[in-house]
């Protein structure tokens, strides 16, 4: 899908009143806004439901007699375009992944774009193109949207909010509190790629290997896992706060303990080097295409094998167990045979002084 | 990863720990000076693997922790001014001043920016000629050369809208103060590898001679730490007191001479207050007269009157001197947590209290009050 993206060839079907940047008028509700919608958003995101441009989308759900997953997320990343992706695909995959963590098949998205006056039209085009391509990859439709423009200095170029609806097959029972003592813990691949990709651009750090974001939609991987076994008890998208936060949330919801072996966490050498340089713990660094799964131990091998068969789960590893000891607490076994508590991160990750 | 994984090798670490076990016959109190080392020890769980005879004391080598409250309040006063862009290393932003921290100043509209190097602050100064850029120049001898370089470049390039709020401290003077204190009973020191990379270890030779304590220069990975501990225990058991270098891949006796040279060109010795400890004579650096134009305290003399008092419940001073363990504090994990720190040792990720909180809660959960025993 990504191969079809050709940013340099992106052209606007009709000139947007010849404005090379976003101006306040693009959020006025008048002709300029209508032009923006008709010439930027509809050509890229349009479909039967969205093209109606009603106050709300009307969706036929008859063919899906099952439970609904519903999730919203706002995207405020800086820089807007980073190695391996941009805010457009992040906004699609972020919500798609939240839905997928319930075992749902993602179907519909809303898209709220908050544009800052002065945003180059070309940047908006590039991001919307990526947004559109990501929707195709994830097989979701944008069925309702909103555009606002804020004064220069009141936004970081562009914020996007997406809300998504997905449907959960009747036989699937995934929930944060479903973990059981004896279950195993799996991570789907290398950790910290997204966070360090963003950080390396923001801080102007250069490494021998370029670190690229792992932003990708996980619903197919989840589908593959569920096809292997329905005994998948919990799934968590390891975004902000990284794998450490995901494990802590799961331990807390299930009131069970989690232990894992630190040495088993898959880590790209460049990410490891960047983390060492900045004094950061990769366990706490954000991912945008990695999940943590808690699975019944008897089916661990089948689920792992299924994950390995999918490109996004190729590096999946069993890292630890759910235990009845130390409820709500996550414990890492260190490389030298000691152990330590892996707590929830407090606030922003701060680089250490020396 | 090359040059890192070798020093995290579990088998080698355990072998060294076994040797320590076989060597030790009596209880010893050994202080690791640097906060980065404290962090590494607790993060790897090495403290739990040591024989009970060895009591590790966490020293005052965390630059964030020992920066006095007064300087934090001065930083906050400067950062709140609309004409100033305040730049700092990241972990200073969450250190509580007497009323708030730099993060709150940022939230209230102050222009506070995290930089990785003081030279980045200099760049911001060139890009914003209508603002004054103040850099928070804290740290031990490790950060001093880069900070000195920034001031020197500011002068050479006539970047007049740059100033530094200086609170530099030095390790040997702190060790002297600890040795002179009648309460402190440390049998040996593990010296900070990064500081020694810059300064060498020649300064410690007279300390060893005067106080008859072993000092071993130590790195930051489990193998480095176990090796330095073994050398330390061997000295103690043999009744020797020498300076030894267990971090030879980075440290030479004379240190990094060009780095020392630039420190000596820009800074001069001065008395410095250490948070929770008090004023230690000649324990820090200030800018020399030739660079006085770049001293933020001289450029904004109104901040010189700021002189707050430390909160009474926090025992960070005793912790920094190795007289108490973090979990012996009545506020530890209760009123005082990383979310709501009462003292700097809970704020910095290198602080002993934060390290105990982050990595050690399990031991406390199990009712082991003395984690290092």
For A:269-328, CB contacts with B below 8 A are 269, 272-273, 276, 278-279, 326
Q: Residue B350 — pLDDT band, cuts 50, 70, 90?
A: low
Q: Which of A233, A267, A89 minimizes the C-alpha distance to A162?
A: A89
Residue A239 Cα, gap to closest chain B Cα (Å): 20
Query: What are the structural domains of chain A?
Result: 7-167 (3.30.1330.10), 176-341 (3.90.650.10)
Range among A48-57, B36-45, B312-321 rated most confident: B36-45
Q: In this complex, how many residue pairs, one in chain A and one in chain B, have their CB atoms less than 8 Å apart? A: 104
Q: Which of A148, A76, A66 minimizes the C-alpha distance to A107?
A: A66
Residue B241: Cβ-neighbour burial (10 angstroms; 0-12, 13-18, 19+)? middle
Cβ–Cβ below 8 Å for A350 and B349: yes
DSSP assignment of A152-170: TTSSSSEEEEEEEEEEE-T
Cβ–Cβ below 8 Å for A354 and B93: no
Does residue B6 sit at the A interface (CB-CB below 8 Å)?
no
A350 interaction partners in chain B (CB closer than 8 Å) = 90-91, 93-94, 114, 349
Q: Residue A183 — pLDDT band, cuts 50, 70, 90?
A: very high
Cβ–Cβ below 8 Å for B222 and A335: yes
pLDDT confidence of residue A40: 87
For B:261-320, CB contacts with A below 8 A are none
Does residue A78 sit at the B interface (CB-CB below 8 Å)?
no
User: In terms of CA atoms, which chain B residue is nearest residue A274?
Assistant: B1
What are the tens digits of pLDDT across the range B184-239? Answer: 789 999 999 999 999 999 999 999 999 999 999 999 999 999 999 999 999 999 99
Average the pLDDT over each of A224-238, B33-47, B347-361 and give the range with the smallest value: B347-361
In percent, the amount of chain A with pLDDT more than 70 equals 90
pLDDT confidence of residue A202: 79
Residue A248 Cα, gap to closest chain B Cα (Å): 13
Cβ–Cβ below 8 Å for A346 and B90: no
Cβ–Cβ below 8 Å for A334 and B94: no
Q: Is the pLDDT of residue A91 over 50?
A: yes
Does residue A341 sit at the B interface (CB-CB below 8 Å)?
yes
For A112, residues 6+ apart whose C-beta sits below 8 A from its C-beta are: A145, A146, A147, A148, A160, A161, A162
Q: Is the pLDDT of residue B91 over 90?
A: no
What are the tens digits of pLDDT across the range A273-285? Answer: 889 888 889 999 9
What is the torsion angle, in degrees rounded to the nearest 10, for the CA atoms of residue B239, residue B243, residue B248 and residue B253? -160
B37 interaction partners in chain A (CB closer than 8 Å) = none
Cβ–Cβ below 8 Å for B10 and A354: no
User: In terms of CA atoms, which chain B residue is nearest residue A276?
Assistant: B4
Residue A159 CB neighbours (<10 A): 20
Q: Residue A10 — pLDDT band, cuts 50, 70, 90?
A: very low
Mean pLDDT, chain B, rounded, equals 90
Does residue A30 sit at the B interface (CB-CB below 8 Å)?
no
Helices and strands of chain B, counted as H and E runs: 16, 11
Q: Which residue has the higher pLDDT, A347 or A27?
A: A27
Does residue A337 sit at the B interface (CB-CB below 8 Å)?
yes
Residue B155: Cβ-neighbour burial (10 angstroms; 0-12, 13-18, 19+)? middle
Cβ–Cβ below 8 Å for A338 and B45: yes
Q: Residue A347 — pLDDT band, cuts 50, 70, 90?
A: low
What are the tens digits of pLDDT across the range B14-54? Answer: 999 999 999 999 999 999 999 889 888 988 989 889 999 99
Q: Is the pLDDT of residue A350 over 70?
A: no
B350 interaction partners in chain A (CB closer than 8 Å) = 352-353
Residue B253 carries which DSSP code?
T
Cβ–Cβ below 8 Å for A353 and B361: no
Q: Which of B30, B42, B68 minimizes the C-alpha distance to B360?
A: B42
Task: State the best of B44, B346, B347 to mutate against chain A, taking most chain A CBs within 10 Å.
Answer: B44
* Alpha helix positions (H), chain B: 10-23, 35-44, 63-66, 69-79, 102-107, 118-127, 144-156, 171-180, 193-199, 202-211, 222-238, 257-266, 296-299, 316-320, 344-347, 352-365
Please tell me the distance from the alpha carbon of residue A85 to that of residue A214, in angstroms, as a whole number. 8
Which sequence spans correspond to the domains of chain B?
1-357
What are the tens digits of pLDDT across the range B153-184? Answer: 999 999 999 999 999 999 999 899 888 888 87
User: In terms of CA atoms, which chain A residue is nearest residue B63?
Assistant: A353
Cβ–Cβ below 8 Å for A336 and B14: yes
Give the mean pLDDT of A283-289.
95
Angle between helices B257-266 and B144-156 (to 10 degrees): 60
Q: Please, what's the b/e burial string for A82-110 (b: 16 or more CB within 10 A of its CB; e: otherwise)? A: bbbbbbbbbbbbbbbbbbbbbbbbbbbbb
Which is it for the CA torsion B37, B39, B44, B46, positive or negative?
positive
Q: Is the pLDDT of residue B300 over 80?
A: yes
Please tell me the distance from the alpha carbon of residue B226 to that of residue A334, in angstroms, as a whole number. 15
Cβ–Cβ below 8 Å for A334 and B43: yes
Q: Is the pLDDT of residue A128 over 90?
A: yes
For B:132-171, CB contacts with A below 8 A are 138-140, 142-143
A276 interaction partners in chain B (CB closer than 8 Å) = 1, 4
Please tell me the distance from the alpha carbon of residue B97 to that of residue B326, in angstroms, as a whole number. 20
For B:218-257, CB contacts with A below 8 A are 222
Please tell me the distance from the alpha carbon of residue B34 to that of residue A189, in angstroms, as a whole number. 35
Please tell me the distance from the alpha carbon of residue B359 to that of residue A222, in angstroms, as a whole number. 32
Please tell me the distance from the alpha carbon of residue A344 to that of residue B249, in angstroms, as a whole number. 35
pLDDT confidence of residue A64: 63
A331 interaction partners in chain B (CB closer than 8 Å) = 362
What are the tens digits of pLDDT across the range A66-86? Answer: 789 999 999 999 899 999 999
For B:62-121, CB contacts with A below 8 A are 63-64, 89-94, 103, 114, 116
Take residue B222 and report the two structure tokens written for it: 């489990």
Q: Is the pLDDT of residue A88 over 80?
A: yes
Strand pairing class (A317-323; A184-187): antiparallel
Q: Is the pLDDT of residue A13 over 60?
A: no
CATH of domain B1-357: 3.40.50.11740
Residue A354 Cα, gap to closest chain B Cα (Å): 7
Give the mean pLDDT of A266-293.
92
Please tell me the distance from the alpha carbon of residue B128 to that of residue A186, in angstroms, as a whole number. 49
Mean pLDDT, chain A, rounded, equals 88
Does residue A153 sit at the B interface (CB-CB below 8 Å)?
no
A335 interaction partners in chain B (CB closer than 8 Å) = 8-10, 44, 222
Q: Is the pLDDT of residue A62 over 80?
A: no
Take residue B169 and report the two structure tokens written for it: 């401290």
Residue B186 Cα, gap to closest chain A Cα (Å): 25
Inter-residue contact A187 to A313 (CB < 8 Å) = no
Does residue A59 sit at the B interface (CB-CB below 8 Å)?
no
Helix (H, G, I), strand (E, B) or coil at B86: strand
Give the mean pLDDT of B134-149.
96
């Amino acid at each position: 899908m990504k191969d079809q993206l050709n940013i340099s060839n992106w052209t606007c079907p009709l000139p947007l009143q010849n404005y090379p940047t976003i101006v306040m008028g693009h959020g006025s509700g008048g002709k300029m806004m209508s032009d923006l919608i008709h010439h930027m958003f509809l050509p890229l995101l349009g479909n039967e439901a969205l093209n109606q441009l009603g106050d709300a989308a009307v969706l036929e759900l008859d063919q899906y007699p099952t439970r609904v997953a519903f999730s919203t997320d706002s995207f405020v990343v800086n820089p807007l375009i980073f190695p391996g992706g941009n805010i457009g695909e992040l906004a699609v995959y972020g919500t798609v992944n939240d839905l997928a963590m319930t075992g749902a098949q993602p179907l519909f998205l809303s898209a709220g774009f908050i544009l800052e006056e002065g945003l180059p039209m070309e940047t908006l085009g590039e991001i919307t193109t990526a947004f559109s391509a990501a929707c195709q990859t994830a097989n979701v439709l944008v069925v309702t949207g909103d555009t606002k423009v804020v004064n220069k200095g009141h936004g970081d170029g562009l914020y996007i909010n997406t809300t998504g609806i997905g449907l959960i097959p009747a036989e699937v029972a995934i929930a944060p509190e479903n973990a059981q003592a004896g279950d195993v813990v799996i991570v789907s691949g290398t950790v910290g790629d997204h966070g360090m990709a963003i950080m390396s651009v923001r801080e102007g750090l250069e490494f021998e290997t370029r670190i690229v974001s792992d932003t990708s939609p996980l619903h197919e991987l989840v589908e593959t896992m569920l096809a292997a076994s329905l005994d998948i008890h919990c799934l968590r998208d390891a975004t902000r706060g990284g794998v450490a936060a995901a494990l802590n949330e799961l331990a807390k919801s299930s009131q069970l303990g989690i232990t894992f072996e630190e040495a088993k966490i898959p880590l790209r050498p460049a990410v490891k080097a960047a983390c060492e340089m900045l004094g950061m713990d990769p366990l706490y660094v954000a991912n945008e295409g990695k999940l943590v799964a808690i699975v019944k131990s008897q089916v661990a091998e089948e689920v792992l094998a299924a994950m390995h068969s999918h490109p996004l789960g190729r590096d999946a590893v069993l890292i630890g167990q759910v235990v009845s000891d130390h409820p709500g607490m996550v414990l890492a076994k260190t490389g030298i045979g000691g152990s330590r508590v892996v707590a929830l991160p407090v606030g922003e990750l701060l680089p250490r002084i020396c | 990863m090359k040059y890192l994984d070798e020093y995290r090798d579990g088998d080698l670490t355990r072998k060294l720990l076994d040797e320590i076990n076989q060597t030790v016959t009596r209880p010893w109190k050994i202080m690791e000076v640097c906060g980065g080392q404290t962090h590494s020890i607790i993060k790897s769980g090495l403290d739990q693997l040591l024989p009970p005879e060895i009591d590790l004391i966490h020293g005052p080598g965390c630059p964030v922790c020992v920066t006095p409250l007064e300087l934090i309040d001065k930083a906050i006063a400067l950062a709140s001014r609309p004409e100033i862009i305040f730049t700092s290393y990241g972990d200073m932003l969450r250190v509580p001043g007497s009323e708030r921290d730099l993060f709150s100043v940022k939230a209230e509209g102050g222009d506070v920016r995290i930089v990785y190097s003081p030279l980045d602050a200099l760049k911001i100064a060139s890009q914003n000629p209508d603002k004054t850029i103040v850099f928070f120049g804290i740290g031990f001898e490790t950060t001093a050369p880069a900070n000195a370089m920034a001031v020197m470049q500011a002068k050479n390039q006539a970047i007049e809208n740059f100033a530094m709020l200086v609170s530099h401290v030095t390790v040997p003077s702190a060790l002297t103060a600890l040795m002179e204190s009648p309460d402190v009973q440390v049998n040996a020191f593990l010296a900070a590898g990064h500081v020694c990379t810059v300064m060498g270890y020649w300064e410690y030779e007279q300390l060893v001679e005067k106080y008859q304590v072993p000092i071993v220069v130590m790195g930051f990975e489990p193998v480095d730490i176990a090796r330095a501990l073994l050398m330390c225990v061997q000295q103690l058991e043999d009744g020797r007191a020498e300076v030894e270098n267990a971090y030879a891949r980075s440290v030479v006796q004379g240190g990094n001479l060009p780095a020392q040279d630039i420190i000596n060109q820009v800074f001069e010795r001065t008395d410095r207050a250490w948070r929770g400890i008090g004023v230690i004579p000649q324990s820090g650096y200030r800018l020399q007269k030739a660079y006085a134009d770049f001293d933020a305290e001289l450029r904004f003399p109104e901040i010189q009157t700021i002189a707050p008092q430390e909160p009474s419940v926090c025992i960070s001073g005793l912790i920094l001197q190795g007289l108490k363990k973090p979990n012996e504090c009545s506020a530890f994990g209760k009123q005082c947590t990383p979310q709501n720190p009462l003292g700097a040792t809970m704020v910095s990720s290198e602080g002993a209290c934060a390290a105990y909180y982050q990595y050690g809660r399990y031991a406390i959960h199990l009712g082991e009050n003395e984690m290092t025993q």
